[in-house]
Amino acid sequence: MNQSHDPPHQNKLKPKPKAVIVGGSIAGVSCAHALILAGWDVVVIEKSRRPPKGNPTGAGLALDPLSQELIGSWTGHPELLHDITSPAAIDLNQAINDEKSKKILARDENFNHRAAHWSSLHHHLFSALPPEILLWGHLFLSFSVSNDKQSVKIRAQVLNTEETAEVDGDLPVAADGCNSLIRKHYFPDVKLRYSGYCGWRGVLDFSGIEDSETIKNVMEAYPELGKCLYIDLTPRNHTVFYEIPNKRLNWTWCLNQPEPHLKGNSVTMEVSDEMIQKMYQDAEKIWHPTLVQVMKETKEPFVNAIYDCDPLEQIVWDNVVLVGDAAHPTTPHSSRSTNMSILDAAVLGRCLEKWGSENLTAALEEYQYIRLPVASKQVLHARRVGRIKQGLELPDCRSFNPNTANWEECKMLLQRAVPFFGHNPLL
């Protein structure tokens, strides 16, 4: 930095650079933490009218050790993160045959992740930020970069008043998700790629019914719940099942099907009672009765269409930067989406701190140099693993059958096989 050449009084008067983060999901609030620590002023624009705390729906997620460390450094209270997460020390893949019996395919007892509910992690992050920086109920409309590429103007609709607000800044950060409007501005021809399957998801709250027959059967069928990420596989199907804090069981079931018709920008489908009953009937044919009962007792199960995107050529333009799912939409099979978002934020913050706002171009180029190749490899790996688990065709290997698979095939199921597992570069 060249700030040391300025007189002391000029340093004090020099205004902080300002970042405008579009999107207040986990990627957005993570960036807010990282950029504040780097010495930036921050504004976060989010279309939701209020924080999602207490939302009973939503999904579970797994945080790797580096993400845990970064979140603790941002909030200053790593013990609080420990309180809202459960151990996920074991990564276990097992086959379920026609008789509903189980066979271990691959097991990693040094997985060392922690499981959380999405809304709990989001609340943990945003509640540690200055409340005035979050503009809830602001729907992003458009942005414009100045002719000298030094500033940006963000326009958003204030949902409560329907007025248009304008926010000026030095750095726009696109954290607006897999259907990012800012990404579409630069890559209008890039489309999300449907994976070939959708994921039914749900969270069963078993507080108060711990002694019920269902929960007793669950603990018998899945004896390592509370420390294990269970992946059950049958031909062309797999489920993910694990416990998250406050006596909740998180489950996902991926089903091969044609691409559904979706409304708007959401990848979450509208579900009817008829669809839910059909899901139960299909589950009874292939899954262990205990898991099926968990599905049946879950309130408001929902289904996501699973998409990713071919890796982008770049994630930086002038003073515009993409982070999280806006930069690298990915399928969920390697537990990378949230972890990649958190690492994007950390790397961006450290690059900005290293180079200073007067060298913004160099900072963003280094961010792209570090994150683009890592995220691209992880996206393609997650895509491959998803197709393996769903028994879909791959150009270089036969369709995966968990009941006949050999060890070479099964070891790809472990999340330890993800590129850069355990050693993601920060700078």
Is residue 256 predicted with pLDDT exceeding 70? yes
Average pLDDT (98-114) is 94
Domains along the sequence of the chain with CATH:
3-60+121-191+315-390 (3.50.50.60), 79-117+195-308 (3.30.9.60)
Kindly state the DSSP code that residue 286 receives in the 8-state scheme.
H
pLDDT for 263 equals: 79
pLDDT for 14 equals: 73
Per-residue pLDDT band at 54 (split at 50, 70, 90): low
Average pLDDT (46-54) is 83
Is residue 58 predicted with pLDDT exceeding 60? yes
pLDDT digits (tens, 9 = 90+) for 115-157: 999 999 999 999 999 999 999 999 999 999 999 988 999 999 9
pTM of the predicted model, to two decimals? 0.93
Strands 320-322 and 171-174, by their bridges, are: parallel
* Three-state secondary-structure class, residue 107: strand
Is residue 265 predicted with pLDDT exceeding 60? yes
CA 254 to chain CA centroid, nearest Å: 17
Is residue 57 predicted with pLDDT exceeding 80? no
Question: If we measure between CA atoms, which residue out of 8, 24, 128, 33 comes closest to residue 348?
Answer: 33
Per-residue pLDDT band at 6 (split at 50, 70, 90): very low
Name the average pLDDT for the chain. 93
pLDDT digits (tens, 9 = 90+) for 146-155: 999 889 999 9
Is residue 286 predicted with pLDDT exceeding 60? yes
The span from the CA of 104 to the CA of 93, in Å, is: 6
pLDDT for 53 equals: 66
Is residue 9 predicted with pLDDT exceeding 60? no
Q: Which two tokens stand for residue 278?
A: 């059909």
First to last CA, the chain: 17
pLDDT digits (tens, 9 = 90+) for 391-411: 999 988 889 999 999 999 999
Cβ 355 vs Cβ 363: under 8 Å: yes
- Residue 244 neighbours by CB under 8 Å, 6+ apart: 60, 85, 86, 115, 116, 117, 120, 203, 250
pLDDT digits (tens, 9 = 90+) for 234-243: 999 999 999 9
Question: Which CB contacts under 8 angstroms, 24+ apart, belong to 213-216?
Answer: 214/290, 214/293, 214/294, 214/297
Average pLDDT (98-109) is 94
pLDDT digits (tens, 9 = 90+) for 326-355: 999 999 999 999 999 999 999 999 999 999
Is residue 88 predicted with pLDDT exceeding 80? yes
Average pLDDT (201-227) is 96
